[in-house]
Structure 1
Amino acid sequence: MEERLVPVNALLGLCTPNDINPAVLTRAGFRIVGLEITVACSAGGRVTIDVVLLNEAESHLVFCECKSGNNIENEQAERYGMIDPKSVVTAAAITLSNREPLTSEVLYVCLADKSDRVIQGLDSISADYALLTVGDSEVTLRRAGKASKILRDAFPGGSVKLLAPPARIIDFDHDSPASVFVDKLRPYLIKAAARRTEEISVPRIAEDLCVHYRRYQQAVRQQIAKRFQTALRQLSAEEPDTYRYEQSPGGGPEGVVRLLRTPEEFDHRGRTVAYQSLARVSRRRRGRSVDPNQLDLLADVEGSSELEDPSEPSDDEEEGLEGEEAS
């Protein structure tokens, strides 16, 4: 997992019931309602919120900025303080059942060893945001006095002990290298072919392989789909007898990949020929002395009917042919 995704995964883990680590945010009534949500700020400009949390019972939103480095972006941090919660509800298509007025706050999330520098950056611009720090064995709410009571109640002792490092809930995203998408697709397509699947759409692939895909804003979903399209084109070029990518009319992320053969057909003939080749090598080596009490493995392989190619004559047939030619 890329280091930049560790803070995001730690936060998502606290919202994931039945995980090995305690889901303290879920217990406090929070759930994930948006990832990579871009909104306009009241004083101009735009900001992209990494994770949006909602406590529906309290009509309370938390805008989370996840940092893996030492420094904050001052302009970005200032814009976080200008977000209208209603604009986030619209941008993330959040459905609200509670009619109470919306409230919101900003939460920064960072790696524990970078927390002092992040706090220094927030203080330098007088940003009154709480900070969640992530370590291998603990998650701590720092600057708790700047957090809402709703958020503080999720961390009654200030810290949460982790039984294991943050899970790899999201191990790639739209900013990951192209090779990651190819690596994700190979085993996925092999399993699909084993199930005799004939074709799969790009949106289906994205939903299956990208956790929380539907929580991303539409523009980000399109970026992820395009990365999968590029990876499918590469695989189709590398293995044209196995995969064929077909773009939908008019473009867009609705293309499909066709699976042209199953794993049972991958190099099956080649595997048989390879064993026969080994057997032929063993015949050429039979002039050497062999202990009669030892098992000749290659001889056993040579005599196995499962490994013989019906398109080639057997040893007996070869001798018979030679005799006919001699006569």
Structure 2
Amino acid sequence: MGATLKAFVILSVMLWGICGCFGHGGYLYPQFYDKSCPKAPEIVKSVVAKAVAREARMAASLLRLHFHDCFVKGCDASLLLDSSGSIISEKRSNANRNSARGFEVIDEIKSALEKECPLTVSCADILALAARDSTVLAGGPHWEVPLGRRDSRGASLSGSNRNIPAPNSTIQTLITKFKLQGLDTVDLVALSGSHTIGQSRCTSFRQRLYNQTGNGRPDLTLDQGYAAQLRTRCPRSGGDSNLFPLDFVSPTVFDNWYFKNIVASKGLLNSDQVLFTRSEKTMEIVELYAKNNQLFIQHFANSMVKMGNISPLTGSRGEVRKNCRRINSS
């Protein structure tokens, strides 16, 4: 790893290790509910644990909801709103349609919290806590979650389509979309490591198998033996929703095999593999994480805190929804 990049990585992590709790919209802190709803973290953890015990994939699904919420209008639970009145749900976007899941688990958490302390814990904070708890249950790091977000009273379908990186994104698109959220190259690579758990549909990577650049040829940066395995269940047409692990070695364990796979040309999505093949800076970070699981774990936790602080609604802005799927009646 180059000396300049190494210094950049260390400085980035040190700065966010100091606090990382100033968002663009206000101040968040882990003790926010200590007096108003002290059992809140315990309730979230309990429901998430039951959900993941029922289905291991749910850990990745809940983690993904937090990402897809924060990248649109900030971490404000806009993703959770169903269409009604003037609201067009973000669940209809290309990034979420037929793939975002886990909403029923969030509903279950919210119901339990409303019984314990009505109109106190925001849906946005539920998403942040559920993402952390899901990561821990999969064997990943624990971090203190800064709290105090409030819930949006609107959604942005266009923002969801525009801001969330697609699975076939180029490296420049990825860097740009993360930079627009205040996230740097280290954050991009570390947060991409969430693909160490979870699954993806055939339709998300089919072009790599058959027609990567529009010339009817496969992606030559994909290991051809691995590609042949993928083709058995991801044909040229049909099978769109067939599921494949993003990390085929340890698909339900939060570790650095995702990065080892990329180094071996076995990243499933184009947006995974380009981290190693299209940018020297991201390639060096991928190599670093592939060799050092503890460093990846540490950086991931720091970057999750940083991401969770994207433009939160605080103070009197927004509201605390009673039902995460709809705004409170005015």
**Which interval holds the TM-score relative to the shorter structure?**
under 0.3
Q: TM-score, normalised by structure 1?
A: 0.25
Q: Which has the higher strand share?
A: 1
Q: TM-score, normalised by structure 2?
A: 0.25
Ranked by relative contact order (alpha carbons within 8 Å, sequence separation 6 or more), the top structure is 2
Larger Rg: 1 or 2? Answer: 1
